[in-house]
């Protein structure tokens, strides 16, 4: 179960990173962060394919991809209360480092 939650976090991270790269300036820290998460992707998928059947991994990856895409699109379109956005995309950009740490820690726990 943790493996599938890690896959959801990974897809969520890369959806946020794609929007971040289009809207913000890129620096070396972001590229290093992408590399660390890419390593976690490789480790998580190798764990998932070795411990679960391939069709369940692909099905959960597809569902996680759809959930992440819909979540980021909902934030980009915006949820407004009294004309003010409830949660904006700039708020998500503040927590991208925390999401990276969560992915790295959960991948480490998954592999132990």
Q: Is 27 helix (H, G, I), strand (E, B) or coil?
A: coil
Domain total in the chain: 1
**pLDDT tens digits, 57-104:** 999 999 999 999 998 888 877 777 777 777 777 778 888 899 999 999
Residue-level pLDDT at 33: 92
Is the pLDDT at 32 greater than 80? The verdict is yes
- Give the separation between CA 105 and CA 102, rounded to whole angstroms: 5
Q: DSSP secondary-structure letter at 84? A: E
Angle 44-50-54 from CA coordinates, rounded to 5°: 90
**Mean model confidence pLDDT for the chain:** 88
* Domain around 21: 2-111
pLDDT at 18: 87
pTM of the model: 0.84
78: which DSSP letter? -
Alpha-carbon distances, residue 112 vs 40, 44, 66, 89, 107 (angstroms): 13, 12, 28, 34, 9
Q: 84 with 18: CB under 8 angstroms?
A: no
* Percent share of the chain, pLDDT over 70: 100
Q: Which percentage of the chain shows pLDDT scores above 90?
A: 54
């Amino acid at each position: 179960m943790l493996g599938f939650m890690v896959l959801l976090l990974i897809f969520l991270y890369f959806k946020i990173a794609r929007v971040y790269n289009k809207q913000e300036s890129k620096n070396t820290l972001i590229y290093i962060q992408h590399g660390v998460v890419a390593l976690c992707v490789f480790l998580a998928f190798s764990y998932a394919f070795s411990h679960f059947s391939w069709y369940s991994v692909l099905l959960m990856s597809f569902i996680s991809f759809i959930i992440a895409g819909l979540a980021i699109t909902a934030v980009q379109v915006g949820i407004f209360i009294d004309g003010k956005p409830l949660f904006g995309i700039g708020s998500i950009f503040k927590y991208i480092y925390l999401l990276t740490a969560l992915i790295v820690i959960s991948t480490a726990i998954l592999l132990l």
